[in-house]
Amino acid sequence: MTTLSVIIDTLAAQGAGNLAVHLVAADGTTLPAFEAGAHVDVHLPNGLIRQYSIASSPHQREHYVLCVRREPASRGGSAYVHDQLRVGQRLAISLPRNLFALEPAGHYLLMAGGIGITPLLAMAEALDAAGTPFELHYYVRERGHAAFARRLAAGFRHGAVHVHCDAEGSNPANRLPEGLDTPGAARRLYLCGPDGFMRYVTDTALQRGWNEAQIHREAFGPAPVPTAPAATDGAFEVELASNGQVFSVPADKTIAAVLCEAGVEVPLSCEMGMCGACLTPVVAGQADHRDTVQSEAEKASPNQYVTLCCSRSLTPRLVIGL
């Protein structure tokens, strides 16, 4: 996997519990181009690899800005970022990759919950630079929790910003954008935030006439679905389309774990079904999708992909494109 050597240029608080990390190229050059919605894998010195969206404008390639919320139930990533990273420290990151790209539209409705603002801020910057109209609605518990508050307060030439605070009586349950009532064919809805927030907004949008293809989501945390083998899971077989090798996947192991134990190279990163690194084509069989990186339409598509780190099989054998 190709990695970039970067240096932490600055660390700055961005609302209560959020830390912005400004990264510059270690060799002083500009960083690789990226599109709004992209993320990078950050290789932390403690051995963990975590995915963070790039929040800065795609037109500013002298640095990448990431923003990390300290999670109470941190598995080690966010706690390490907040407690151990220091200005001047060197890190390795992946090349940017984008599973949450802006699709062509005449108008965009962007809705963020909490730290889900990070990819949507980059989208707002890109849309503003292109002269494309948009609305950005940002939901936080308290105003002091908002990340990038100064940038949002400065506004955009072609977009309107609305910050909604639950402590002030404004939350998704009672203050959804009026734009949800106008689901024109030229409009698209982008969501990022907690799973419950995205499910609520998605269900509401569908009820108001939006179609699934107009709605785009990215989770910054795992959805409350079983991403690890459960006691009720059964065994199945996985066949590699390239050479016909067949492996038995027991109920207590993932596809990725079985393949790695057998010496098969599997691209892994988050191992939670969030990043898309291990998405692999399904050649035959039916996957039991347990990831949050694919949309419902993608999961139902005839051309299916399976996340090897958490998904399973609904058929006795799953033939995959490895």
- Per-residue pLDDT tens digits of the chain, which is 322 residues long: 689 999 999 999 999 999 999 999 999 999 999 999 999 999 999 989 899 999 999 999 999 999 999 976 666 789 999 999 999 999 999 999 998 999 999 999 999 999 999 999 999 999 999 999 999 999 998 899 999 999 999 999 999 999 999 888 888 888 899 999 999 989 999 999 988 788 899 999 999 999 999 999 987 654 444 444 554 578 999 999 999 999 999 998 999 999 999 999 888 766 667 667 788 999 999 999 988 777 777 888 888 999 998 899 999 999 999 9
Q: What structural domains and CATH numbers belong to the chain? A: 3-94 (2.40.30.10), 107-219 (3.40.50.80), 236-320 (3.10.20.30)
Reduced to 3 states, what is the DSSP secondary structure of residue 153?
Answer: helix
Reduced to 3 states, what is the DSSP secondary structure of residue 137?
Answer: strand
Query: What is the spatial distance between Cα 185 and Cα 215, in angstroms, rounded to a whole number?
Result: 11
Q: For residue 25, give both structure tokens.
A: 């190229």
Contact predicate 122/54, CB 8 Å:
yes
Contact predicate 142/166, CB 8 Å:
yes
Rg, the chain, Cα only: 20
**What single-letter DSSP state applies at residue 129?**
H
pLDDT at 178: 92
Q: For residue 35, give both structure tokens.
A: 């599109």
pLDDT at 75: 66
Query: What is the spatial distance between Cα 236 and Cα 239, in angstroms, rounded to a whole number?
Result: 10
CA atoms within 13 A on the CB side of 316: 0
Q: What is the pTM of this model?
A: 0.74
Long-range contacts of residues 265-272, Cβ cutoff 8 Å, at least 24 apart: 266/308, 266/322, 267/1, 268/308, 268/309, 269/41, 269/49, 269/51, 269/94, 270/49, 270/50, 270/51, 270/309, 271/309, 271/310, 272/222, 272/227, 272/309, 272/310
